[in-house]
Amino acid sequence: MAKLRLKITKGNEIRYVSHLDFAGTIERVVRRAGLPAAYSEGFNPHLKMAFASALAVGVTSEAEYLDLELTAAPDVAGIEARLKAQLPAGIELKAARYVHTPSPALMAVVNLATYDIMVPLMPAATLAAAMTSLSSFNSEVEILYIKESPKGRREIDITEFLAGPVTASLAADNQSLTVRLAIRITPSGSVKPAEVLAVLTGRYGLPADGGNALIHRTGLFVWDGRGQRSPLEL
Amino acid sequence: MHFLDPVSPAILSKVMKPARYTGYEWNSVVKDLKPAMVNFVLAMPDVYEVGMSNLGLKILYQILNQRADTFAERTYAPWVDLEAEMRNAGIRLYTLETKRPVAECDIIGFSLQYELSYSNVLNMLDLAGIPLLAAEREATQPLVACGGPCAFNAEPMTDFVDFFILGEAEEVISEVAAAIADWKLSGKLNGKAGILRQLAELQGVYVPGFYEAEYDAAGRWAGICTDIPEAKQTISKRVIPDLDQVMFATKPIVPFIEIVHDRIMLELFRGCTRGCRFCQAGVLYRPVRERNIETLLGYVQALIDNTGYNEISLVSLSSADYSCLSPLINRLTTRFKPQGVSVSLPSLRIDSFSIDLANQVQQVRKSGLTFAPEAGTQRLRDVINKGVTEADLIEAVSAAFRAGWSTIKLYFMIGLPTETDEDIAGIAALAQQVADLYKQIKGRRGAKVTVSVSSFVPKPHTAFQWFGQNSVEEIERKQRLLRSLIKDRSLSLSWHDARTSFLEGVFSRGDRRLGKVLLRAWQNGVKFDGWSDHFRYNIWMDAFAAENVDPAAYASRNRDIDEALPWEHLSSGVDKSFLVREWQAAQQGAFTPDCRHKECGACGVCRNLDVKVVDWGQA
Ligand code: SF4
């Protein structure tokens, strides 16, 4: 048994593919590549595969991590070549590495996610107005928000999940903002970047068209209070 | 290459299942479109998950894209949520491959699988910005073609369609593409009529615009006539004599999202000669032609390598009839099981041999078995030539219960010719017998028996094509009667809306005069008629009234044997005399044996189309 850790992307082409379907896609990629994958027992055997963190529908990412259990440990260069030949548009293999077994599940150690949100400015809105909105948001000590999910309504304090101030700059097209944020993933949950954006535009007057925002995950990290490491550096 | 989505993120994040509309699936093909190339759009007037599951379209996609002179793309009906957004934002129907407007392609070909999708064809053309009426489209606009089983009664759709393809299209689709490529190269010589005349010469192609429909004094269909030399009096279907010689969909598109048949589809053979008299597919796909077992195993290897699927579904009209099924399943399981691949059989014959097979393929999970006795009494099963007895069913179900299954689904039809209330009571009795059987065998209750009852719709090209369909009221009365007879808690009953079956009946045996009804009903908002939430019966009935067309004259009227029928110029290769004999045999409850095992029943298709039954078990 060996455990292979992969870093892959989820690009614009497959932005709207759900996490479950994304996982199914990877499963078929692994089978096409003919890797010596380990399967679960049972009638409908599944690959033993675990992601670091699910990505919401509509969100792209340049750093998704997953662990894959193999029944043998062929050399990584060969695996990379076989996987790359089978990847559909929108998925790139960035890195692959064996990790020690047993090692804690990715899901249990990854606790920080960073995002870039590209969002069109409202007509005639200025960068200065956007900055004012952000600074009033960043200076709050508590921002209550009601999370709605199929499981029910729950009130959270957004500031608990922000690892630092939300920043923004004018995007290359001069008509959009790039909003940057770092979000904590905790055992008791997290907040979605889209939820933060909704609060920014809805309550703090960020002059941007949230409906047309494109959210992009730029990194997933293990943060220990002093520094952050990528799951491949563990 | 990344193509810009015509639909904005704001829209895509609002609609259900947005990945239906964004493309880039594995094995989808993108070509650099050169001016001389034929841009062929393959369409299904239904949602992505349904359209992507159609085997015929998968095969045609591969054949067309294999050609250097053709680029085939796909489009499906956007669900009503996206359609509303598209109309609101002025976005036209686009292809999934290059996101180009469908209106810019050379030809759009729809697969017509059932009559209730006709309104979606109109809706998609409109959404594409293509004029609905064939006569209003110019040579600069796409040709509109239709294929699939419904093409065998093309008349209700003739106002909107430039040409129809009858039968198996593996070969003719290439002939069509080549003809369009030449026509484009010639600068579209003689305009649209120029290409349509060439196409009309191909066997299997029907160009309705070249014919006038004639009606008799009583307003009944009297036939078609033409003075265009290329237009044939009778258009015969295409048939592939040797299925091992044509391309199969070995490199199908692998969707990102789950579709209806989200697995490898392995077609073992075409045709079915068991001869159920209600079954249209049984006539249209005659004769039976099997693929060789070696060919099939080669396909499976390629399919697993090309898709990464780990489930194989055997799809044929009645897969258990494949002559080499046991060796095939054995070889599939020994070869592919170690790779984690499983096999499933969607259709089961009612015998214990099938149970053994089901046991072989479903070794762990007993997910439920489906049987189709079709009618509740032996008398009526004889009428429809369903060659199974109650004893067969009891034996098969007992075998299933003993092997560990407890969930059984039984399919029946109501409204069959000669049906009486006794036959309806027979359905309830048979279902009860199955439920009781479980208790006898297992010594306890616990079977789950689902009785699924559809309303019989007489189909063209079958022995029942003359039969007047039961009215909506009569079907509803029979449904209530059945409901009152089913009492046991282990039985559950479901049925189809009698009104949708009525509409299906009107269009399945309709003629050209239905075009204006369809157009009006679509204008008044019908679409997705096959989806019960979206079926708008009243709009349809208003459209019939407004156009002064009596729907019952098509659906409910018993037709005379010597009356001209609106589909008789479209030939399945089966002789009308055979259907007449079968219709008479039905009245007497006389059995016609399966021609692949017993003697030839002289349906005519082998002689007329110069083909033979291919059965490797006999070879
Ligand atoms: S012609 Fe004879 S052998 Fe051929 S399909 Fe018809 S009944 Fe069967």
Question: Which residues from chain B sit within 8 angstroms of residue A209, using beta carbons?
Answer: 10
Residues above pLDDT 70, as percent of chain B: 96
Q: Which of B237, B269, B273 to mutate to test the pocket of ligand 1 (most atoms within 8 A of CB)?
A: B273
Q: Where are the domains of chain B?
A: 263-346+589-618
What pLDDT does residue B368 have? 76
Question: Which residues from chain B sit within 8 angstroms of residue A12, using beta carbons?
Answer: 2
- From the CA of B156, how far away is ligand 1's center (Å)? 30
Say how far apart CA B25 and CA B23 lie, in whole Å: 6
- From the CA of B283, how far away is ligand 1's center (Å)? 10
Residues touching ligand 1 (Cβ under 6 Å) are B 273, 286-287, 595, 600-606, 613
Of A43, A57, A213, the CB nearest to B365: A43
Say how far apart CA B399 and CA B232 lie, in whole Å: 53
CB contact under 8 A, B340 and A12: no
Smallest CA–CA distance, residue A176 to chain B, in Å, is 14
Q: How many Cβ atoms sit within 10 Å of the Cβ of residue B266?
A: 23
φ, ψ at B62 (rounded to 5°): -70, -40
- Output b/e per residue, A111-133; b: 16+ Cβ within 10 A: bbbbbbbbbbbeeebeeebbeeb
CB contact under 8 A, A21 and B342: no
Q: Is A77 exposed, middle or buried (0-12, 13-18, 19+ CB in 10 A)?
A: exposed
Residue-wise pLDDT tens digits, B499-519: 999 999 999 999 999 999 999
What is the rounded average pLDDT of the residues A18-33? 96
**Domain at A2-107: CATH code:** 3.30.70.580
Say how far apart CA B221 and CA B213 lie, in whole Å: 8
What is the rounded average pLDDT of the residues B469-497? 95
Q: Contact at 8 Å (CB) between B470 and B456?
A: yes
Contacts of B499 by beta carbon, 8 Å cutoff, 6+ apart: B472, B535, B537
Res. B618 pLDDT band, cuts 50 70 90: low
> What six digits make up the tokens of B425?
């009571």
Say how far apart CA B497 and CA B79 lie, in whole Å: 22
What pLDDT does residue B363 have? 54
Res B572 pLDDT > 90? yes
Residue-wise pLDDT tens digits, B49-71: 999 999 999 999 999 999 999 99
What pLDDT does residue B377 have? 95
> Which of A19-23, B154-158, B215-219, B598-602 bottoms out in mean pLDDT, i.e. has the lowest?
B598-602
Question: Which residues from chain A sit within 8 angstroms of residue B23, using beta carbons?
Answer: 13
Q: How many Cβ atoms sit within 10 Å of the Cβ of residue B304?
A: 21
For the whole model, what pTM was predicted? 0.95
User: Looking up tokens 């529908």, which residue turns up?
Assistant: A57
Test mutation, B8, B24, B341, B364, chain A, max A CBs within 10 A: B24
Nearest CA to ligand 1 atom 2: B600
Decide whether A2-107 matches A112-229 in CATH topology.
Answer: yes
A22 interfaces chain B, CB cutoff of 8 Å: yes
CB contact under 8 A, A57 and B257: no
Cα R_g (chain B), whole angstroms = 24
ipTM: 0.93
CB contact under 8 A, B256 and A15: no
B-chain residue closest to A32, CA distance: B308
> Which of A25-39, B222-236, B390-404, B489-503 bottoms out in mean pLDDT, i.e. has the lowest?
B390-404
Test mutation, B99, B310, B341, chain A, max A CBs within 10 A: B310
Bridge pairing between strands A112-120 and A176-184: antiparallel
| Long-range contacts, stretch B335-340, CB < 8 angstroms, 24+ apart | B335/B297, B336/B300, B336/B304, B336/B312, B339/A31, B339/B304, B339/B310, B340/A31, B340/A39, B340/A45, B340/B310
E strand or H helix at B579, and its extent? Answer: helix B576-588
Residue-wise pLDDT tens digits, B75-133: 999 999 999 999 999 999 999 999 999 999 999 999 999 999 999 999 999 999 999 99
φ, ψ at B91 (rounded to 5°): -95, 130
Q: Which CATH class is domain A112-229?
A: alpha beta
Res B348 pLDDT > 90? no
φ, ψ at A129 (rounded to 5°): -65, -40
Question: Which residues from chain B sit within 8 angstroms of residue A39, using beta carbons?
Answer: 340
Helix, strand, coil percentages, rounded to 5, for chain B:
40, 15, 45
Q: Where are the domains of chain A?
A: 2-107, 112-229
Q: What is the largest CA-CA distance in chain A?
A: 60
> What six digits make up the tokens of A136?
């009033």
Of A32, A43, A58, the CB nearest to B364: A43
User: Looking up tokens 């810009």, which residue turns up?
Assistant: B4
- Tell me the average pLDDT of chain B: 93
Which atom in ligand 1 lies closest to the alpha carbon of residue B603? 6
What pLDDT does residue A117 have? 97
What pLDDT does residue B595 have? 85
What pLDDT does residue B319 have? 82
* End-to-end C-alpha distance for chain A, whole angstroms: 19
B88 interfaces chain A, CB cutoff of 8 Å: no
What pLDDT does residue B305 have? 96
CB contact under 8 A, B22 and A14: yes
B-chain residue closest to A43, CA distance: B364
- From the CA of B385, how far away is ligand 1's center (Å)? 16
Q: CATH second-level architecture of B263-346+589-618? A: 2-Layer Sandwich (3.30)
Say how far apart CA A215 and CA A194 lie, in whole Å: 8
Report angle CA B132, B133, B138 to the nearest 5 degrees: 95
Question: Which residues from chain A sit within 8 angstroms of residue B24, using beta carbons?
Answer: 13-14, 88-90
Question: Which residues from chain B sit within 8 angstroms of residue A15, using beta carbons?
Answer: 9, 22
